[in-house]
Amino acid sequence: MAVGVFDSGLGGLTVLAALQERLPQVDFIYLGDNAHTPYGVRDADDIHHLTRGHVRTLWDMGCDLVILACNTASAAALRRMQEEGVPAGKRVLGVFVPLIEALTERQWGDNSPPREVAVRNVALFATPATVASRAFQRELAFRAIGVDVEAQACGGVVDAIEEGDMILAEALVRSHVEALLRKMPHPEAAVLGCTHYPLLEDVFQAALGPQVTVYSQPRLVAESLADYLARHPDIAGEGVPARYLTTGDARRVSDRATRFLRRQTQFEHI
């Protein structure tokens, strides 16, 4: 059986690439809801409705495990889906928890009470919807105490990246970092809370300075999934080539994804 990877658009491809590199023996099906992207400007109910429907599609295709490779979907829909109940034998995971576990130096599955951690001041860069949800702060509070989080909504960055305008994207990143530093002059760590942002990790790091540790999700999610699959080897599959599915125009999405990943990527419309 395959592992499903869901995103509102193309950003989740950064997570998928890291998963494929770390776990070449695993079958993956990627589903991008390009017909409704971006999720970052939608309200929570709309995001939940869209995410739930597409996760069910991946479950119906045989993906017992689905990863929400979208911070906005993870923030606005994951907990609500879990509270509503997940079908027996199915599981849905978000991308926040592996990042927070790395930030707080907790092991996968450590459910002990929250405790003080080394990092005290954290900058969060994310989409407007993710920032508004406060999901990062909520999940962090389950694991750590005494951490001050300053969030910066990075409007325009996702659109610029998906349009291939990296000059604009880099300028926007520098502007958002400057705005964050006016509110929190000395962050110790920065969280890139959108799966598009790893493409600009060097820009974030340069704008923040070498003294700030930047946490990027793809490699952390890949390590967490590797740990999970070591304990659940029946999910892994046989390592067949990944399938790329989209709700949008397959040719247009394929062209944009090829530019995004800098390698040929062919999507199918569903």
At 80-138, the pLDDT tens digits run 999 999 999 899 999 888 888 888 887 656 778 899 999 999 999 998 888 998 989 98
A 10 A CB-CB count for 112 gives 8
Q: Classify 246 as helix, strand or coil.
A: strand
Per-residue model confidence as pLDDT tens digits over 166-218: 999 999 999 999 999 999 999 999 999 999 999 999 999 999 999 999 998 89
Q: Check whether 57 has a pLDDT greater than 80.
A: yes
- Six-digit token pair at 101? 């576990």
- Six-digit token pair at 70? 């979208």
**Percentage of the chain modeled with pLDDT above 70:** 97
Q: Check whether 145 has a pLDDT greater than 90.
A: yes
Q: Decide: residue 40, CB within 10 A, 0-12 exposed, 13-18 middle, 19+ buried.
A: buried
97: nearest Cα among 82, 112, 113, 108 = 108
Give catalytic status of residue 194 as yes or no.
yes
pLDDT confidence of residue 238: 61
Domain residue spans in the chain?
Answer: 3-94+218-269, 97-217
The whole-angstrom distance between residue 27's C-alpha and the CA centroid of its chain comes to: 19
141: nearest Cα among 104, 114, 112, 105 = 114
Q: Check whether 28 has a pLDDT greater than 70.
A: yes
pLDDT confidence of residue 259: 80
**Higher model confidence: residue 38 or residue 123?**
123
**Higher model confidence: residue 233 or residue 151?**
151
pLDDT confidence of residue 60: 93
A 10 A CB-CB count for 97 gives 20
14: nearest Cα among 152, 155, 174, 199 = 199
Sign, Cα dihedral of 72, 77, 82, 85: negative
Which is the catalytic residue, given 26, 31, 70, 131? 70
- Six-digit token pair at 146? 């005494």
What CATH fold (topology level) applies to the domain 97-217? Rossmann fold (3.40.50)
Query: Of all residues in the chain, what percent are helix, strand and coil, respectively (each to 5)?
Result: 50, 15, 35
φ, ψ for residue 75 (rounded to 5)?
-75, -40
Average pLDDT over residues 36-50: 90
**Percentage of the chain modeled with pLDDT above 90:** 63
Using pLDDT thresholds of 50, 70 and 90, give the confidence band for residue 76: confident
Contact 212, 190 (CB under 8 A): yes
Q: Check whether 2 has a pLDDT greater than 90.
A: no
**The domains spanning 3-94+218-269 and 97-217 adopt the same CATH topology:** yes
Chain-wide mean pLDDT for the chain?
A: 91
pLDDT confidence of residue 248: 95
pLDDT confidence of residue 41: 82
**Higher model confidence: residue 89 or residue 150?**
150
Across 201-215, 230-244, 253-267, least confident range: 230-244
Average pLDDT over residues 6-18: 92
- Six-digit token pair at 141? 């509070």
What architecture is domain 3-94+218-269? 3-Layer(aba) Sandwich (3.40)
Across 61-75, 92-106, 140-154, 205-219, least confident range: 92-106
Which is the catalytic residue, given 169, 194, 220, 242? 194
